A and B are shown apart, each in its own frame.
Chain A
Amino acid sequence: MNWRRAWTIAQKEYTQFFRDRRTVAATMLMPLIQVVLYGYLSSDVRYQPTVVWDLSQSAESRQLLEAFTNSQYFSMKYRATSMEGVVRRIADGEALAGIVIPPNYATLLHRGKTPQVMVAVDASDATAARTSLSVAQAVGSSVSAKIERKAIAARGIPIPIVGVDIRARAWYNTALRQEVFIVPGVLALVMQFTMTFLSMSTIVRERELGTLEQLVVSPIRSSELMLGKMLPLMTIGYINVTAILLMAIFWFGVPIAGSVLLLYFTVLVFFFTTLGMGILVSTLAKTYIQATQLIQFFLMPSMLLSGFIFPVDAMPLPLRALSYFVPLTYFLTIVRGIIIKGVGINYLWPQIALLAALGLGVFVFAVTRFQKRID
């Protein structure tokens, strides 16, 4: 390994990269745009326009509605005076949820009975609807718990509450904020996309130019060429990661619960996968256009299987098995673990080890193929 030759390649790559303003802009802005888009798009479950038909018109019913409003998931935009009114708002798409409080709501409460409140949710978008329904249930149980406590206090008798009291509690992301979940995902996704794409294009471009042939007959070795090409890409990768994290912290207020150092280390491990994949694609394609199409073939399934959108645990068995071969799956778990849960290497080491093994496998395979192509 001749470090001067490797550094010569790296220097050239830096010069070329920073000379091309458009590429710089695209590479630097793309991740931020993605974070913003995913961050905002995914949090739209909140403040669902809601239509209310309150037949009780009591202090108690107002209290209940206030609890719904305080959850931040429901926004009481419309009042209805009939069931038809409720249905029409939802059918028109003006409201995504409807709450109907019966006329005897307050009376039943006073008699110590359980009144029934109807919450209807437009479930066209199943994900949003699921969130609304579970929030509604949570609001319901917290209100009844409060009423019970009040009733008991009023009688002045310390009667223990009987029956099963299930208290589901959200851990880690206690506020159930989607951004908190999405930011680490976007970080992983951007790392995969940008790095794979850049490493592919830096090689395919040289092959198309014909400069690769010159390098082949120069004294430079494949390992030096690879190292020289990877160094600048890693720099860009780390700039991207840092930008995304700063954005997450200062824009979305997503805290990083775990060790930033560990996060940066696992990013380094992930580089082997992404750069290896890019090199692999570059050996399979003859032209840039072919390569860009081929790369989708790798990136799309790995995004879908990784758990970025659909939870891996909910996948049918064959797909779940397949997802264990997708490096992004592990990286996502690791990044989410560090950022959201704040767990350390003692919990994450199996994932990191598997990611490293997969990454090295891809990388070594790609570099070997690349050497063969040179011959």
Chain B
Amino acid sequence: MSVALKIADITRRFGATVAVDGVTLEVESGEIFALVGPDGAGKTTLMRLLCGALAPDSGSATVDGIDVVTEAERVQGAVGYMPQRFSLYPDLSVMENLRFYGNIFGIPKAEFEARASSLLADFALAEFAERLAEALSGGMKQKLALACTLIHRPSTILLDEPTAGVDPVSRREFWRLLYRINRSGTTVFASTPYMDEAERAHRVAFMTGGKIASVGTPSELKAGLHGEIVEVRCARYRDARRALHGVPTVRSVEMFGDALHALVSSAAEAIPDFRRRLREAGIEDAVFRAVPPSLEDAFVARLTA
């Protein structure tokens, strides 16, 4: 397999802050790769470095073999980059927005017509072609943004939190489109704050404090937890969390929906201990269960480690 993205020890500072701190990463062609991390982890800066919008202080990167530092202009013509707040021109119609990007990328007229109509059909936007972008729903805007990103048939697309602020149904539809695009051979490199989206990717990288904390398939990352998760349900979960915090066998304890997730080495050993401790704290209604770790557990464990 060839390499779509090759990032080698890349660093970018903004004043005293090191936004991206010596990141090394490889993404293979045809992968869906998710970059997960909390706000301020440096995901957006990394994305901007990869599309040549920012110059790195040190290190290098290539996208489809093109150097992003020395050949920034070629990179920009080759990749599809969808910024976090991809903005359409609200006062232009769906078709006008598409045509604008088609012309910017220098696509011949006949080819554009064919490409645009197939994209609009695939994205279920054909009947809204003449509608002004400002009159589209959030999900439709997102789809149009993706269509604009794909207008020049890039082999790699970089998506910076593409589904931020989009409703769950539209998010699901958006991911269906990503799979479809990916099936036709496009490499997808997407950052996301949503764990459920990361679970859909072929491979995931955790990014925190400007560094890549771990990389792997979702199952590898979960396995890399080297521990088990005890789910604790009770009415006074705040008190329960306080009671379990700082217990030597507990590596982390976090809220997870309406339950607590505690990361321990062995669930079988931890549960009786937990029961005793919570009873001492006056909590009688607690229910314990060993659950398979989710990606979020793996992520939180990494962050709190």
CA distance A214 to B79 in the complex (A): 12
Query: Which of B48, B96, B104 counts the most chain A CB atoms within 10 A?
Result: B104
Evaluate contact between A4 and B106: CB separation under 8 angstroms. yes
Within residues 189 to 217 of chain A, which ones have a CB less than 8 A from any CB in chain B? 209-211, 213-217
B237 at the interface (CB under 8 A from A): no
CA distance A210 to B85 in the complex (A): 6
Secondary structure of the B contact surface, majority rule: loop
Query: Which of A5, A19, A214, A221 counts the most chain B CB atoms within 10 A?
Result: A214
Given the contacts A15-B96, A20-B91, A375-B54, A220 and B85 also touching, CB distance less than 8 Å? no
Evaluate contact between A12 and B100: CB separation under 8 angstroms. yes
B53 at the interface (CB under 8 A from A): yes
A16 at the interface (CB under 8 A from B): yes
Which chain B residues lie closer than 8 Å to A8 at the CB level?
Answer: 100, 103-104
Evaluate contact between A214 and B87: CB separation under 8 angstroms. yes
Total contacts A to B, CB within 8 angstroms?
63
Give chain B's interface residue range (CB within 8 Å of chain A).
Answer: 20 to 34
A124 at the interface (CB under 8 A from B): no
B51 at the interface (CB under 8 A from A): yes
Which chain B residues lie closer than 8 Å to A214 at the CB level?
Answer: 81, 83, 86-87
Evaluate contact between A15 and B92: CB separation under 8 angstroms. yes
Given the contacts A15-B92, A19-B91, A219-B76, A213 and B104 also touching, CB distance less than 8 Å? no
Given the contacts A12-B89, A209-B89, A210-B83, A220 and B104 also touching, CB distance less than 8 Å? yes
Evaluate contact between B103 and A217: CB separation under 8 angstroms. no
Evaluate contact between A219 and B91: CB separation under 8 angstroms. no
25 sampled A-B residue pairs with Cβ under 8 A: A5-B106, A8-B104, A15-B91, A16-B89, A16-B91, A16-B92, A20-B91, A209-B89, A210-B83, A210-B87, A211-B89, A213-B53, A213-B85, A214-B81, A214-B83, A214-B86, A215-B104, A217-B51, A217-B76, A217-B83, A219-B77, A219-B105, A221-B73, A374-B53, A375-B53
Q: Which residues of B contact A (CB under 8 A)?
A: 48, 51-55, 73, 76-77, 81, 83, 85-92, 96, 100-101, 103-106
Q: Which residues of A contact B (CB under 8 A)?
A: 2, 4-5, 8, 12, 15-16, 19-20, 209-211, 213-221, 374-375
